[in-house]
Structures are given as C-alpha cells and as structure tokens.
Amino acid sequence: MMAIMSVELISQLRNFAGREMTFEPGQYLFRLGDKVRVVYFIEEGSVHLVRHQADGSALILERAASGSILAEASLYSDVYYCDAIATALTRILAVPKREIRARLATSPGFSEAWTKYLAHEVQRARLHAEILSLRTIAERLDTWIAWHDGHVPEKGEWKSVAQQIGVSPEALYRELAKRRSN
C-alpha cells in the first residue's frame, strides 16, 4: 500500500486560503518551541522532522515527502516539539491552523477525509516499527516491497529505501547483489 494522501483531502486542502512557500535544502520551516499558526501541506519536495538530543545527535522523527501533511499532530498543540528542515527544494501550502480546525468542526466530509489520512499515517507508523523490529535485511526489504505493492524503486532511490528500513546503503546493496546472483 503506497503512502499517498487521498485525492479528496488534497483537493480540499487546496481550497483553503493558504499561502504557497518555497524552502531551500537546509532551510527551517519551523523550530522547536515556535508557535503553531499553520498546517503545512508538502506539494513537492521533502522535509525531516528532527529533535536534537542532549548529546548533539539528531533524531529524525519523520521523513515527510510530497503529498504529506507535516506535523499533523501540531494541529492540537500550541508550540512545535521539534524542528522541520527541508531536505530538498520544497514547495508547501501553509494553511492557517484556525481554518483547518473550523472546517473539521463544520464539515463532515473534510473531517472524514482528515480522519482517513490520520488512520493511514498510524498504519504507516506501525508498519515502520514492524519493519525495524525484523532481524534481517532480507526480511525488512521483503516487508517494505510488500507494503509498496511489489513496487521496486528506480536506480538511485535505493539509498532512501535503506534509510526507511534502518540499514546502511552498503548493507542493502549487498542484499540486492545477493538476490541478483540467485
């Protein structure tokens, strides 16, 4: 099952009086502690939600890509609990938080589309946790491919798959080479 937002929710988000914004790689959309005023819909590009640890290391909480709502749980928070950093040239639609909340309270259709999106995100998070719990690279890769309906990425996209399944690119390449030789 590919992680694609419903066409219904995308079209409804585009009907809001949002603001189009572009972010360069490395540019912050928001920082830990900033007030939540908008909800970000990623139209193109990618953003990492990052929490910096006391030892200086960074914990990536989410790798959000085109078609994602960024930090959707922040709709019910006053401040952000992480940083959002563009990892590629990223075009977003920023919709005021108050407008989203008002529409959720008054539009059953929008509420249902939003709920379906959140349910899919829960499924995706559970699958990711399950993939990371698997012991071998082969098991992780097989599960990832099954979740993506048998779709095998193009050459050049495998490094992203390695990140998603929690292995080094080199380890994944060794697994792929082993499969080709069998």
Query: Does residue 121 carry a pLDDT above 90?
Result: no
177 and 90 belong to one structural domain: no
Instruction: For the chain, give the number of residues.
Output: 182
Both 97 and 17 in a single domain?
yes
Tell me the C-alpha distance between 13 and 17, whole Å. 9
Mean pLDDT of 104-117: 93
Report strand pairing: 46-52 vs 90-96.
unpaired
Place of tokens 């349910």: 119
Tens-place pLDDT, residues 20-58: 999 999 999 999 999 999 999 999 999 999 998 888 888
Would 147 be classed as within a structural domain? yes
Considering the domain boundaries, does residue 149 fall inside one?
Answer: yes
Please count the structural domains in the chain: 2
The string of DSSP codes covering the chain is ------HHHHHHHHTS--EEEEE-TT-EEE-TT-B--EEEEEEESEEEEEEE-TTS-EEEEEEEETTPEETGGGGG-SB-SSEEEESS-EEEEEEEHHHHHHHHHH-HHHHHHHHHHHHHHHHHHHHHHHHHH-SSHHHHHHHHHHHTTT--PPTT-HHHHHHHHTS-HHHHHHHHHHHHH-
According to the model, what pLDDT value does residue 2 have? 37
Residue 97 sits in which domain range?
7-107
pTM for the whole structure: 0.77
pLDDT exceeds cutoff 50 at 142:
yes
pLDDT of residue 29: 97
51 and 86 both lie in a single domain? yes
- Same domain flag for 99 and 141: no
Tell me the C-alpha distance between 175 and 140, whole Å. Answer: 11
For residues 89 and 154, state if they share a domain: no
Q: What pLDDT does 27 receive?
A: 98
Is 124 within a domain?
no
Band of residue 17 on the pLDDT scale cut at 50, 70, 90: confident
The reply to whether 28 and 86 lie within a common domain is yes
> Domain with 15 in it: what CATH number?
2.60.120.10
Q: Give the Cα separation of 144 and 56 in Å (integer).
A: 30
Q: Could you tell me if 33 and 93 lie in one domain?
A: yes
Q: Which pLDDT does position 30 carry in this prediction?
A: 97
Asked if 102 and 139 sit in the same domain, the reply is: no
Beta bridge partners of 52: 58
Sorted by sequence, the CB contacts under 8 Å of residue 150 that are 6+ apart come out as none
Asked if 48 and 97 sit in the same domain, the reply is: yes
